[in-house]
Every structure is written in structure tokens, then in C-alpha cells.
Structure 1
Amino acid sequence: MNIETNNDENISNTSGEDVTEKNKRANNSYAPQFVNVEDNEIVHQKNPPLHLAILVASDSEEVFDVPRYKDEYSVNGLEKAIEKLRCVAYMWQAFTSEQMNRQGFGRRTFRLEECWLEANSNFRCFNYSAGAMLHEIGHCLSLTHSPTGIMSNGYQNFNRAFVSWEPGRRGIAPSEEKGAHWHRFDCIRFRYHPCFRLPNDAIQYKKLIDSPTFYYTQTGVTVKSESGIILVEYWIDNKVKCYKDYSSDYLDEIPNELLISMKDIGRSNIHNKKLKVNIISTNCKCTTIEDLAGFIENRNPEYHRLHGTFYRSYEVGLHGLEVEKHDTQPFSVIFKTAISRIVLYGGTFFNGFKIVFTNGHESKIVHPEGDNKRVLSFYNNDSIAKIYVRASTWIDGMEIELKSGVKSGWCGGYGGELYILSPPAHHQIVGLYGTGKKDHWLDSFGIKYVKKSDGSGVAVENVPASEMNVTHIPNATNKPSYYNVNENHNANAILGNSP
């Protein structure tokens, strides 16, 4: 470790699947194998490490506080601080490895950057230092706050993961560890994090960095990520009520597209409570809709005489801004006839584009000028299949791909998060919308789409035990696991009152 000086909660599986059996199957890929220890270590060293540092002020005496009764004989200098932090870091590794194994993901943990190799209230001090710091390490590794465990306030009992007793309590069993655990959905995120990969992992990771996107349709809200969706979290009143585990050791079993039915979206309005949804993909990217019912209400279907009823996607961009106070103007375009070509303009950011139709008409969007220009021509009735967008506070850059596979080439900058906007299954793109500053750049962007004229749809898979009708679009083979985070195992409390 290069230190620089400058209980497994009780979860109910409401799909009816035995959690123990699920974990056994997950552990099959970790059965004993003949592995060269030296090769194994070399592979492990390729994982990105966790770097620890101690910051020392320029006027520091390079000592840390100790209890008064230890003042006379304790060693509390910088070297001792480094030794203590190194020891705590090894405990973090051991603790995480055990928690991941309990959840069926094998003994995997993060790597530390190493220099090769070199009965009172004290336990509470340990919890509020080592435990709280591990909580912050969790944030560094993509975790959010969880219902229980280290990422809640469980770090206050961190000592119970390592000792069999504490003052006033004898015989601490695993069931009494309380918050001294990683929550199940913490471990799901860890499973796919680059820091936790093992040499014998069966899964082949996609090298994609796209964030999940949302799409409203007649049957509900479709969620998509080409990287693969591993976790869906449902929150009410800032508490996780239910989560769905799509994790698998095999990439072809991880869905790229899910459907949340209108039935469940309607149930989320019970007692006027907002339903927040987090979607996490295999690359640990997370996209959030703060109010799912509000998302739909603001995207009421519109009607066009040529295309009929059409819908609008999740709008990327304008993150962190109060839109009403932002100097930006909306734009909207419907493809009334076939497209001849699209010209994209950009520079440091994405400025705008010009759409030229086969009848000679043109649509100019925001600021169709810039140093970086891309021309995408359409042949043989080709159409837009997907649009790659990098966005955060504004639209940084964009690339358009046609159904024939032809791409425009990247136009604009490379900041922000990557989103891939493509219509839900059995739909097609018929327009674009968003906002932008006149003579400047795009601030936000989305697509408009309609159901294809052949009338095909997406079947919704009913799961009576939880009535949470979130399903795979056909092409995924595994059945998702539903978990209720409440200790009373009340599956119907998912969208009801808090206990």
C-alpha cells in the first residue's frame, strides 16, 4: 500500500426463487481450479488499485490525537499513523471479500496500491474512523447510500465483523453484526466494478461507457443500456423499497432493455408519494428519474397527421441547472418526408445541425455553424437507428448512426456522460427535440419515436408475487430476481407505506 504523506441482511426474494440456490449457482464459477498462483497475482495486479493518502498540513506537528490516559506512553507520530491506516486497509479488504462471498460473488475485493512489501470505548473510536472512512471508500467505488449496512449508518458497528465480543455484549454472532455488512445491491455494483475482477470470471465485459436511458411508450417506460442492466432500484421518501437483481456471470443473460409497466407506475402514486427509479448498468453508470409518474406526465403522447401518436425520450443535458432560470429556447422537428442528408456542426461543444429533406426543404437547429462539420447522407430509404450523445450541463458532442451502419463521425467535444439514444423495440425515430442557446450550442436533446406500423408489441411478463411488472424485452434468457429490503418480507410494501 503506497501511503503518501503530502449480517448479511434478511432479504425476501419475491419471485419465489431460493436465494441460497441462486448463490450456489453463482458460486459454481468459483469452484476450485488449478490456477498458477504467480499468474493469478499478475492478473490481479492489472486491476485498478485504491490509493490511500495522508494529507499533512505545512504547519503540522505530524501527530494525531490519542486518549489522555495514553498520552505518556503512546506513539502517535506520522509513521504510526501510516501503520494504522495500512492495517485498517487490510481489514477493509478482508471484510469486503467475506461480504462478496456471502452474496454469491466469490471472494473478490479491491486491490491496494502496495510498495512490495514492506474493553472501553476504543472500539467506538475505531468504528467512527475506520468504519466511516470505509463508507467514503464505498462512494469512491460508485456506491450510493443503502437501506442498511456500511453505506447507511452500519459503520457504527464495524468492529462486530472482526470480534466475538464488546463491552456489555458477549458472543457476537453473524446475525448480530447489524450494520457491519455490505448491502446486497452494494455487492451487485462491486461485482462488475473493474477493481473487483477475478482472472477466472466467465463474463466478457463490454467496453462501453453509455449511461442508461428512459423511453415512454403506450405500455409503460422502457429502460435501455447497451452495456447491460444489472440493477433497478425503487425509492419512495428517500428510502429504497425494492430492487431488482439482473446480475449474472454470463453477458448474454444480462438484459439491454427492460419495461416498467403502466400498472406499477400508477400504483406508485398511492398517497401522493413519488417513485424514484435508479438504473445501474454493468459499467457502474447510473441514471435516475426522480419522479417516474411526473416523467410520464411531462411526456404526454402527441399526435401528428403523418405519423400518428408519437412519444418523446428521456432528455439528456441541462444536468444541475434550474431550467426556468436558464437562457435557453426549445426546438422540435418532425420528419415529414424522407431525409436527404444531415449536417452536424460543432467545436468545443455541439452547436447544432441542418436537416435537408428530399423535397428540398431544410430545418436549421440552434446554431448550424462551427469548425467541426460532419455530413451524413441517406441512401436507399435509410433512416436513423441511434444517436450517440455526450452530455452533462449541455450537449458536448454527437454522432448519428443509420440502420445501414453508416455513421456521421463524431462532432463536438468529449466531455460529460455518454448516452445512446435509440427507440424502444418495435419503434422508430421520427423526430428530434431539445433546447439550445441561439447562436451558441445545444443545452439538451432527445428523440421522438412512434410504434412501427406492423403493430408488433412487447409482451409484459407478470410476476404476481410482487406485482412489480418489470420485464425483459425478449432476447434475455434469465429470469430477474425481486428483492424487498424490508425486514418484514412484505412484498406488497414495495409501493405502499413505509413500515
Structure 2
Amino acid sequence: MVSLKRNNATEDTARARQRIKPTAVTMTPLRVSNVKSGETVHQQCLLIKGECPTFDNSDDDYISVKTSDSMKVAESSNNWPVYRGAWKALVLLAPGNNTITLSLHHAGGAQSTSSLLLVYQPLLQIPPLHLAIMVAKDSPLVIDCPPSKYGAISSAHNSLESVIAKFRMTAYMWQALTAEDMQQKELGRRTFRFEEEWTADTTSFQTFRANAEGATIMKSLPKLHIVRTEKTVAELRDANVAQQNPHARRPNELHEIFTRALKAYGGPFESGCRPVVAGLILDSCYSLDRNMILGHAALGCHQRNALSLGMFGSHLTYSWPRSMEEVSSCLLDATPPGETVGNDNGECVSMARACFIGQGAFLHEVGHAFGADHTEGIMKRGYSKGWGTQFLDHESLAISSKDHMQDDEAKWALQDVLRFKTLPHFRIPGDEPITKDFVNAEIQVKVDIDGEGEEWLCITSKAGLVDVKIQNGSHNISSNYSSPGYKYTVCDFRTRELSDFERSTPLEVSVLAQNGKERIIKNAWSFFKDRTFIRIPGSDVRLQKTSVKSSRLEEDDDEDNYIPWTALLNKANPNGNHIRASAIDLRVGCTFDGAVVYYVDGTYAHCGPTREHGQEHHFGGHASEQHDLPANAKIVKVEVNKSGGWSQGSLDGIRITLDDGVQWGEINSQYSDVNDIHVFEPDDGEVVVGFFGKHEKNGFTEEFGIITAPKDFVIPTAAYELPELKNNLVQTARPRPAADEDDMSEDIENTDGEDDDEMNSQDTM
């Protein structure tokens, strides 16, 4: 019996072993892949990501992240999903040393753990991004909220206190995303910081609940300025200022109202402080009757020397997380918002997508406030489907993104982060000082010729080049210098490298510089026709030509459509004597009409057409300005506005600076942002000796540039007869007009209310 019983037990054990299916697991260790233990960071909210083992039936696996600081007073733990052995998590750091403990949980228990040390060093010497909420003077202090978000204090989402918590957590997510994106682009882990205050902690649900129960837990957190406007709720919700109303008469007015409210508030929002502000309009709402979102405008405007504001309505704020614990659930919530709240742009089909649109579109406007244009990624609505993938690894996000989104579409374009890097808000220790020359450095493209007579296309920037691409049908050349520490300033392509390219097909050149400036030339073959230098016969001297072309001219360089011209600052009379220029009249109205160079003998040359309909061409321009040119004066800078804002194509304005600091002209900056202003300065050892360009036959300026020569070089009299240097003279002398003389009938006023968001570096979402 004993022997039999022993045999039965042995058989039972064998059967049990056959029934147990081994759990498959990859051997990938639990680790962090984007930050090293001991690393010093300069932002409070950090995105960490890594890898971990993968188990069968791992749908419920998660990573717990526990953070403790060196004072042992700040300790929190949050859970984050795992997908196919990958995970992401957000952590909030305290100044000094922070210990991050990671644990992988599978089948109800911790399977592996890891830890790392991070040092958070705040950079209080750099300017912050300010956060502000604008409220009407009679505001009820609540926001739009679907029925599923209403409830007791533990789940309320529509109160001002909840809005503050949501805005704060959203700003943290912006900060973490930007730092990680910068790091991936090899620009260092840099991002904006926030103005902070000692206040009740809202970043953790545990502390949020404790605060509600009266046991207030304090912490240093981003400050939310509550800014009152003199406008009522009804005035803010006027359909005529609702940006999404196609019949709105004043769609940009909410931005002006917010700006005035900030300035009236004072403090950090004074223009002299050059603040950059992320502004939320509290009193936005969805009108069911009108089927329209009222009190909302998605607008952003950057002003380097004044207040810059990127603003958004609160109509999607209900979908944002209030605390770190809610980040995952808000980004994964598939619940439909319902019909009582606005479906912004028709994309808010779920709570999660509403969160994507609200947080991403708001950051888009903050991007404008920092100087970004409509480029790629975030500035091209890349957040609408891919926002969640930046913060979480999860199956539902992977499915929704498949075949629709690339991982980088919810990130900043390289051009934008290079511009951000020039701002003091994004500085990190070890940076070289950002000089005005670096910020203003232009991309120069010209054709030169070597000693053997071979032509080459030369691309330069004093700021350094990042990327140069040449495309000609199926032929492509690309030169990448994206490493930020490598300042490559010259890129050239010999004609033999272009010998296989089709001259009948446009030669498109795209250039990006280290200061974020971009230049796109639709057809560079024209540079080989219009050489950027002029040989002086009988010498080895070359005069250099540098210009900016309108977008219209870059797309259409048909010679029959444009009038070329040259106007030098000296001319030769029949006796061979040189006659100097005595004044320059810059003719600007709503666009750049042209200019007139006057000489001491009473003659003058047009920077533009000389004749029109058989008579002398007359330049309009209600904002025209002229100035005398003293005998020994030197032009040290010419600024030209390329925005094409009013004219939808031609150049918009001009300003000239002399070596004594005197400036005149009208740049028309209201039609542009800082990135549209092209600055021309002679190289060291060179002086400006004239101007050149092209005009469309309607009289507007399509190209304007400077001609420079070596200092102390006297252009020979015979050289003035060269076709490239022949002055565009009007032979009949006439007195110079008074500065305020103008024919207003020749000028066209802008009656469109300047409502194009692109013209004002603003945006309509």
C-alpha cells in the first residue's frame, strides 16, 4: 500500500507538471534608456522612458515609479502602462538629489526593480514662461464640462481650482516633451522653466484630497496668474469675436483683450520685461443653439522686445489631467464627450482626443509666442493624433497611430527648436552667449567662379549651416551638419556635381541655419543667369551682390514678367567725374513700392521702373521717408521685410541704417514676425556702393539687394557703362520732394482688417 501510494503521488506530480504552462518572458532588463543615473537636469518635470521584460498575457503589466528627494519630505508613486517591453513615465523632481525607483509589476507582483539618481538644478537666472488665466469681470468661474465630469469635490473638473490644477499639469507635460525633443535633436536637454510660488500642492491626487480636507500640503509650483479683464462674459462670448465663426467681424480681438488685461495687471507682464505668456481664456463655452465655440481664439504672437502671448480657450480643459495620477487615464479615455461640449475642429471624438487637441493646440500657440512659424510637427497640427504617444506606450495609442502618424509629428520641427535656442528662456549651463549678429545672420546663396573658370553654387551663413538639400526631379543632393557643436558655415556645389541635373527642371534649394532661419529657393538655375558678382574689367576686383527675393519671384522667375534695375550711390558724368548720391527716398505704403536715389547734380535714379504708360513712373507710399546722405556717410545695414503679408507676394518694407546710427524707412512689421526681416550688412572690408533688384510690372518690389565693393576701391569710370552697373537714371532733373509729399491716390489702403493669422504670426486653429 505504501509503495502504491508513493507511485500515485509520483504520477500526480508528473501530471501537474504537464498541466502547468511555462510563462514566456524576454530577458530585456528593466532599464531607463533616455537619461543616465547621476545626470543633472534643469526642469522640474522630466519624461523618462525605457525597456523591460515582456511576459505572455502582459496586458495588465505596469511600471510603478516612486520618487523621493534628499529632504525625505517629497515622496510620490505613480503607475504607467507597458507595451511590448517599452514604457514611458513622467516624474516631478525636487531641487537637489532625487532617487527614482522603478518596479515592473506582472500578475499582481513586482517582477524586477531598478533605480537611478537624478539631480534637479533649477536655473532661476533665466526668464520663465508665465501662465495666466483671463476671467471676465462677472465670470461665474466655471468651465464647460460634459455630464460625466461633474460630481463631488473628488471628481469635479469644472471649478477654477480644478482648472488651475489642469493648466499646471498640462504646462508640466509641455516642459517635459520639449526637453526630451531637444535632447533627441542633439541640442541638449533644454526647455522653459516656470515662474513659481509656494502654494497648495495639486500635482498628486493624494495631496489634492488632503488639501480638500483641510490638511494643506504646500509645495513650490508654477504660478497661475488670475487676470481680470474689464470685459463681461457676454462681451467675451460675442459671436463677432469668436475666431471659429466664419462671419466674425473681429476674430483677432480676443488676443488684443487678453494683451490689454495682462498689461493692466502689471508685474511680470510689462512690455519692458519681455514676458512670454501662455494664456487660457476661462469663459469660453460651446453654444448649442449656434453650434459654435464662443469666447475662444487660438492665437499666438512673438515680439522679441515686448509681450508675447500664446492663448487658447478653456472649452477642452475638462479633458486634461489634474494630477500626475490622471495623465494616463486622460490620454487613454475613449469615452465620447457628448453633445453638450464643443467638438473642436471635428476631431474630439473621445475624451482622449479632446485632451490631445486641447493640450497640443495650446502648445502650438505657445510655440508662436516663442517665435515658431507654421513649419512641421506641433506647428502643423501633428498633435491631433500623435500627442498621447509622446507620454505613453500603450496598445490603443499604437493602433490609433498606425498608418496615420509618425512618432515625430507631435514634436517640434528642427527649425523651431533652433529658433527657441536663441532665446534666453532655453539657455543651459555651458552655452556660448547668443549675439545679435548670430540671431540676424542671413543665409546667402550666390554663384561664384574659381580660377579655372568653373562656376559653383555657394551657400553660406555666419550662424552656421544645419541642413542643405538640392532637388532636381529625381536627382537629389543632401548635406547635413545637424550636430549643434559643429559650425559649418559654407556649403558649395560645383557645376560638375550638377552636370546630370536637368536645366529644364527647377533646381530647388532648401537651407536651414543654426539660428533657425530657413531659405527655400524654388529654382536656383536663375542664380546662374543672375550672377551674384560683377567683375570689374582690368582688375581682379569683384563687386558682390546680395539680395532677398519675394516668394512670388522665387516661384516664377520668368524674365518677361519682371523689370530688373540697378541704382548706384555714385555716377559718372560725361567729363568722367564721379557724382555722389545726396539723398535716398524709401517709398513704402502697405507694401514696398520702391526707392529713389538723388544726386548732388539734381538728377536721380529709380530703384524700380522708370517709365509707365509712356510717362515717368511715380512711386506711391503713404509711409515713405527720405533722408540726406552726407558726403562721407556709409550704409551699414539694410533691412527688408519679405513677409508678403499685405500684397500676398511682393516685399513689404525697407529700413536703412547709416554708420552714425541714423535710420529711416518703414519696415511694415505689423505684416510679419522677426523671421521675415532680412538684414543685409557689408562684410568686413566692404562698403555698400549701390542697390539692385526686380519689380513686377505692377510696380511693387519683388527683389531688393545691395552691391558691395572693397573699401577704398574706386569704380573706374568705364565700368559704369557695364550693363550690370548702368544706373536706372531718369534723365530729366527735378527737385527732391519734401519728406511728406505724397500722392495718396497712388497708394492702396488695407481694408481687410489684417485678419490673416499668418500675417500677424498668429494662428487660427
Kindly indicate whether residue 638 of structure 2 is the aligned counterpart of residue 388 of structure 1: yes
Aligned pair in 2 of structure 1 residues 437, 106: CA closer, same or farther (>3 Å)?
closer
Deviation at 1:190, TM superposition (A): 3.5
C-alpha contact 2:656 2:663 (8 A) present in aligned 1 = yes
1:419 maps to a residue whose letter is: V
Counterparts of 1:457-468 in structure 2, within 5 Å, are none
Deviation at 1:93, TM superposition (A): 0.1
Q: Work out the CA distance in 2 between the residues paired with 1:347 and 1:431.
A: 14
1:420 corresponding residue in structure 2: 680
2:318 corresponding residue in structure 1: none
Query: SS state of the match for residue 231, structure 1?
Result: strand
Kindly indicate whether residue 622 of structure 2 is the aligned counterpart of residue 364 of structure 1: no
2:181 corresponding residue in structure 1: 99
Q: Work out the CA distance in 1 between the residues paired with 2:183 and 2:377.
A: 18
2:704 corresponding residue in structure 1: 445
Q: Work out the CA distance in 1 between the residues paired with 2:121 and 2:168.
A: 25
Deviation at 1:196, TM superposition (A): 0.8
Q: Work out the CA distance in 2 between the residues paired with 1:413 and 1:346.
A: 11
Gaps of 5+ in 1: 1-22, 401-405, 453-499
Deviation at 1:444, TM superposition (A): 4.9
1:289 corresponding residue in structure 2: 521
Kindly indicate whether residue 487 of structure 2 is the aligned counterpart of residue 254 of structure 1: yes
Aligned pair in 2 of structure 1 residues 241, 84: CA closer, same or farther (>3 Å)?
farther
C-alpha contact 1:225 1:420 (8 A) present in aligned 2 = no
Query: SS state of the match for residue 377, structure 1?
Result: coil
Gaps of 5+ in 2: 1-34, 43-95, 97-118, 199-220, 224-331, 335-350, 449-454, 589-593, 608-617, 643-650, 670-676, 712-765
Aligned pair in 2 of structure 1 residues 144, 318: CA closer, same or farther (>3 Å)?
closer
Deviation at 1:413, TM superposition (A): 3.8
Q: Work out the CA distance in 1 between the residues paired with 2:499 and 2:159.
A: 58
| Identity score, percent | 18
Q: Work out the CA distance in 2 between the residues paired with 1:270 and 1:318.
A: 22
Q: Work out the CA distance in 2 between the residues paired with 1:54 and 1:269.
A: 57
Query: SS state of the match for residue 175, structure 2?
Result: helix
Counterparts of 1:145-160 in structure 2, within 5 Å, are 153=382, 156-160=385-389
Query: SS state of the match for residue 344, structure 1?
Result: strand
Counterparts of 1:233-382 in structure 2, within 5 Å, are 233-234=468-469, 242=478, 244-245=480-481, 248-249=484-485, 254=487, 258-263=491-496, 269=502, 272=505, 274-282=507-515, 284-297=516-529, 313-316=545-548, 331-333=565-567, 341-346=580-585, 351-355=595-599, 363-365=604-606, 373-378=627-632
C-alpha contact 2:418 2:514 (8 A) present in aligned 1 = no
Deviations 1:20-69 (A, max 9, x none): xxx99xx9999xxxx9x99954312x35x355556879999953243x54
C-alpha contact 1:63 1:77 (8 A) present in aligned 2 = yes
Deviation at 1:390, TM superposition (A): 3.8
Deviation at 1:160, TM superposition (A): 2.5
Counterparts of 1:52-131 in structure 2, within 5 Å, are 62-66=142-146, 69-70=148-149, 75-77=156-158, 79=160, 80-112=162-194, 117=221, 120-121=333-334, 122-131=351-360
C-alpha contact 1:395 1:444 (8 A) present in aligned 2 = no
Aligned pair in 2 of structure 1 residues 235, 431: CA closer, same or farther (>3 Å)?
same
2:298 corresponding residue in structure 1: none
Q: Work out the CA distance in 2 between the residues paired with 1:56 and 1:72.
A: 25
Match of 1:231 among 466, 473, 480: 466
1:396 maps to a residue whose letter is: I
Deviation at 1:84, TM superposition (A): 1.7
C-alpha contact 1:222 1:257 (8 A) present in aligned 2 = yes
Alignment root-mean-square deviation, CA = 5.6
Deviation at 1:177, TM superposition (A): 5.3
Aligned pair in 2 of structure 1 residues 412, 295: CA closer, same or farther (>3 Å)?
same
1:434 corresponding residue in structure 2: 693
Deviations 1:410-446 (A, max 9, x none): 33345542411447x99987653235799x9977521
Q: Work out the CA distance in 2 between the residues paired with 1:297 and 1:52.
A: 54
Deviation at 1:339, TM superposition (A): 5.4
Larger radius of gyration: 2
Q: Work out the CA distance in 2 between the residues paired with 1:194 and 1:314.
A: 30
Deviation at 1:130, TM superposition (A): 1.9
Q: Work out the CA distance in 1 between the residues paired with 2:477 and 2:373.
A: 15
Aligned pairs, how many? 395
Match of 1:210 among 412, 426, 440: 440
C-alpha contact 2:458 2:493 (8 A) present in aligned 1 = yes
Q: Work out the CA distance in 2 between the residues paired with 1:390 and 1:146.
A: 22
Q: Work out the CA distance in 2 between the residues paired with 1:120 and 1:241.
A: 45
Q: Work out the CA distance in 2 between the residues paired with 1:305 and 1:64.
A: 75
Q: Work out the CA distance in 2 between the residues paired with 1:255 and 1:220.
A: 18
Aligned pair in 2 of structure 1 residues 281, 414: CA closer, same or farther (>3 Å)?
farther
Deviations 1:284-334 (A, max 9, x none): 44443233334544559878867899787453376679999xx99753146
Deviation at 1:377, TM superposition (A): 2.8
Match of 1:194 among 414, 417, 424: 424
Aligned pair in 2 of structure 1 residues 262, 153: CA closer, same or farther (>3 Å)?
farther
Q: Work out the CA distance in 2 between the residues paired with 1:150 and 1:422.
A: 34
C-alpha contact 1:316 1:391 (8 A) present in aligned 2 = no
Query: SS state of the match for residue 111, structure 1?
Result: coil
Return the TM-score normalized by structure 2: 0.41
Larger RCO, structure (CA 8 Å, separation 6 or more): 1
Aligned pair in 2 of structure 1 residues 420, 217: CA closer, same or farther (>3 Å)?
same
C-alpha contact 2:695 2:702 (8 A) present in aligned 1 = yes
Aligned pair in 2 of structure 1 residues 319, 290: CA closer, same or farther (>3 Å)?
closer
Deviation at 1:95, TM superposition (A): 1.6
Return the TM-score normalized by structure 1: 0.58
Query: SS state of the match for residue 315, structure 1?
Result: strand
C-alpha contact 1:188 1:247 (8 A) present in aligned 2 = no
C-alpha contact 1:235 1:275 (8 A) present in aligned 2 = yes
C-alpha contact 1:397 1:412 (8 A) present in aligned 2 = yes
Query: SS state of the match for residue 125, structure 2?
Result: helix
Per mean C-alpha deviation after superposition, the further-off stretch among 77-86 and 93-102 is: 77-86
